[in-house]
Homo-oligomer: A and B are copies of this chain.
């Protein structure tokens, strides 16, 4: 039950963030304060802006208990190697 993120689905992603924020009973300013970012970037994310910096996004997602992950057909092969650290 994950949601994919790409340039075309940024609007949908913004809706996901907004849903989680409202479920947490937070205003945009409230979320921004807890996450340690500005109120503007919360507005931007919820409106589908795609040029958000990753570190900024991770602060917001972390605050809302949303995890971000990557996957690919080669991931099994990668994990089988000696790269994994956990």
Nearest CB in chain B to that of A54: its residue: B52
Q: Does A73 contact B (CB under 8 A)?
A: yes
Instruction: List, in ascending order, chain B residues with CB within 8 A of A68's CB.
Output: 4-6, 68-70
A73 to B: closest C-beta gap in Å: 7
Q: Is the interface of A mostly helix, strand, loop or mixed?
A: mixed
Nearest CB in chain B to that of A85: its residue: B12
Interface size on A, residues (CB 8 A): 46
Q: Does A37 contact B (CB under 8 A)?
A: no
Report A's interface with B, CB cutoff 8 A: 1-7, 9, 12-13, 15-16, 19-20, 23, 50-58, 61-62, 64-79, 81, 83, 85-86
